[in-house]
Structure 1
Amino acid sequence: MRVAVAGLGLIGGSVALALAEAGHDVIGHDPDPATRESAAAHFPVTADPAALRESDLAVAAAPFRHLDAVARDLGGYTGLVTDVASVKAAAARAFAAHPRFVGGHPMAGKETAGFASAEAGLFRGRPWVLCLEADTDLGDWAALARLWTSIGAHVVPATAADHDRSAARISHVEHLVAAALVRVADDPLSRSLAAGSFRDGTRVAASPTALVAGMAEGNRDELLSALADLGGELELARGHVAASTDRAKPISEWFDRARERRSSWPPEPGETVEVQLERGALLAFGRAGGRLETVESEVAVGRLPRVKSTS
């Protein structure tokens, strides 16, 4: 397949490397000359966005705020278009004029950015959300699902709305919480004593500011909802801590519920199942936590989370 990748940072660069390694005809574009020079050692690059039109698939891997510009560059393009942004409803609006747009989001990354951090194996075994809307062409969706599973990703069918709600709660709010934790420990003694808990809880506070700003701008409503729920939980915890001089049971019960849920993550995959390539069946599979590992002509094969016996 001839694949054009617009944007060669961590994710776009990793997409291009993975597809080139798999034998696809890849051409990359990035507005930064230094990035193009680095990428040129691995696959062909171009300084002209118009050159991306000579492809079967265009992958928009630019930062969220630049998706509108990429969409304009691809005006009149007749190939399949997808993206990798962490906000899907906003991406769909940016590419509304492209009838073959299928939104996507690989759930993989690092706190470091740029082509220097890209790697071909970044997506192996990782979920890759592929949006399936009422007007999505199922053939285009399946073609992308086959492509991403061929480089080791596990495709999760979802609507843009379902994705954005989940992403706000398992990624976007975590970036703000990590930043808040850094801010409340901003004194010399605390920073000197900080160790594993601080490191793990604040890792994504080292992410590029533009990435986090894009999450807040592009997924505002769902992020506000997630922050409200988080605030409710923290208020519960504050109340339990305030009452702990008299009794420790409430904070223990509150924490135990979270500890039990955390100990069961990530969910253990169950046996392989076949899923018909039909919108309703695919979305039901995704909402149940399923991940597709291969996509055939009429069915996809994947795994649902294993249901643990309560007996």
Structure 2
Amino acid sequence: MNLPVPTMEAPPVGVVGLGQLGGSLAAALIAAGRRVSGWDTDPAAREAAAARGVTIGRELGGVVVLATPIPALGTALDDLDVAPDATVTDLGSVKVPVLAALGERFGARFVGGHPMCGTERSGHTAADPELFRGARWAVCLEPGTELPRWLRVAEVALAAGASVVPVTAAEHDAAVAAISHVPHLLAAALAAAAADAGPLALALAAGSFAGGTRVIGSDPAFVTAMVEGNAGPTAAALAAVRAQLDRPWPELVEAGHTVAARSGERRTVRVPLDRAALLALGRAGGTVDRRLAAFVEASLPA
């Protein structure tokens, strides 16, 4: 006789910081049927989250998500009552320094994370339950990470509509320096150079300029904290861009076009719940898309 396999209820999620990222995550998880509580020092953010179905309170358990600015991560939980067995994660755009600070405090209970999404807007009025839909969400898998806790964080990302990229903190910071942090600096440089070129240049600016400078519309304090918090990898990635600009222009244009025109096709694979296998998936450009008992369903570039 085959007995039904018991299912475990997904743990609750507590979100600290209910601005654009935290408010969007809370709303997405509510829509997915997860139990969500939350806290923010801003009464207006608390009120907006409560209207979306979030239980507002200082008592948090299950998976606790820190969605505050990076400088506030270390103290965000100081006045809150966090369950001693809770898994703690964050949404910060830099991982090595966050791991050093929060890993020391929470040990194996901390699992770093970073969803690759967001807009130049900020605050609770920018919250959108669809913000994470189709996004890539890096979830750090360090030598000391407990796999069950990693899975709890990964399942939060999946429930919000994202795909999970297993990485180490160091690999994450090197990668995002190239594809996120340097683009913010380049956008700032393009905007400043156009301003120096004068009012005529700005008056003629169209789509390519708008696309190239969009991200520098973000809060300057946020961008500064991001690039300075990842200064070493960002400097290395910026040097690589300078080296590219020294190539013959036809060669550079062709190389860049080839990357931009690459195929987006992907193939589905199954990957065991094993640290080495998961990290190999991430390094190959793969994503975890669904949990399947002792395996995950994942996709890789075709």
Cα distance in structure 1, aligned partners of 2:86 and 2:201: 54
Post-superposition shift, 1:194? 0.4
Unpaired runs of 5+ residues, structure 1, are 238-249, 307-311
Letter in 1 for 2:46: R
Tell me the equivalent position of 1:87: 94
Alignment partner for residue 270 of structure 1, among 247, 263, 266? 266
Counterpart mapping for 1:204-283 below 5 A: 204-234=215-245, 236-237=246-247, 250-264=248-262, 267-283=263-279
What is the CA-CA distance between 1:217 and the residue it aligns to? Answer: 2.3
**Partner in structure 1 of residue 181 of structure 2:** 172
Say whether the 8 Å CA contact 1:172–1:215 is kept in structure 2. yes
Distance in 2 of aligned mates of 1:42 and 1:293: 26
Q: Is the 8 A contact 1:5 1:61 kept in 2?
A: yes
8 Å CA contact 2:48–2:124 kept in 1: the answer is yes
> Residues 125-175 of structure 1, C-alpha deviation per residue, up to 9 Å, x if partnerless?
111111000000001111222232133211000000000000000001101
SS at match of 1:185: helix
Verify the 8 A CA contact 2:62 2:83 in the aligned structure 1.
Answer: no
8 Å Cα contact 2:29-2:159 kept in structure 1: no
Structure 1 CA distance for aligned equivalents of residues 194 and 90 of structure 2: 37
Q: Are residues 1:3 and 2:13 paired?
A: yes
Match of 2:117 among 100, 108, 125: 108
In the TM superposition, what is the alpha-carbon distance from 1:114 to its structure 2 partner? Answer: 1.2
Shift of 1:78: 2.5
One-letter amino acid of the counterpart of residue 255, structure 1? V
Read off the aligned partner of 1:280 and give its amino acid letter. A
| Shift of residue 110, structure 1, vs aligned partner | 0.7
CA contact 2:63–2:152 (8 Å) conserved in 1: no
Residue 190 of structure 1 is matched in structure 2 by 201
Question: For residue 241 of structure 1, what is the aligned residue in structure 2?
Answer: none
Q: What is the one-letter code of the residue matched to 1:300?
A: V
Say if 2:150 is the partner of 1:141. Answer: yes
Structure 1 residue 71, shift from structure 2 partner: 4.8
Choose from 273, 277, 292 the match for 2:288. 292
Q: Is the 8 A contact 2:13 2:63 kept in 1?
A: yes
What is the aligned-residue identity percentage? 43
Off by >6 Å, runs of 4+ in structure 1? none
Structure 2 unaligned residues grouped into runs of 5+: 1-10
What count of residue pairs does the alignment treat as equivalent? 287
> TM-score, structure 2 length as denominator?
0.90
Q: How far is the alpha carbon of 1:270 from its aligned partner? A: 2.2
Cα contact 2:16–2:22 (8 A) shared by 1: yes
Q: Residue 59 of structure 2: SS of its match in structure 1?
A: helix
Please report the TM-score for the alignment, with normalisation by the length of structure 1. Answer: 0.88
Q: Distance in 2 between matches of 1:104 and 1:62?
A: 13
Name 1:17's counterpart in structure 2. Answer: 27
**1:102-138 deviation digits (Å, cap 9, x = unpaired):** 1011111111111111111111111111100000000
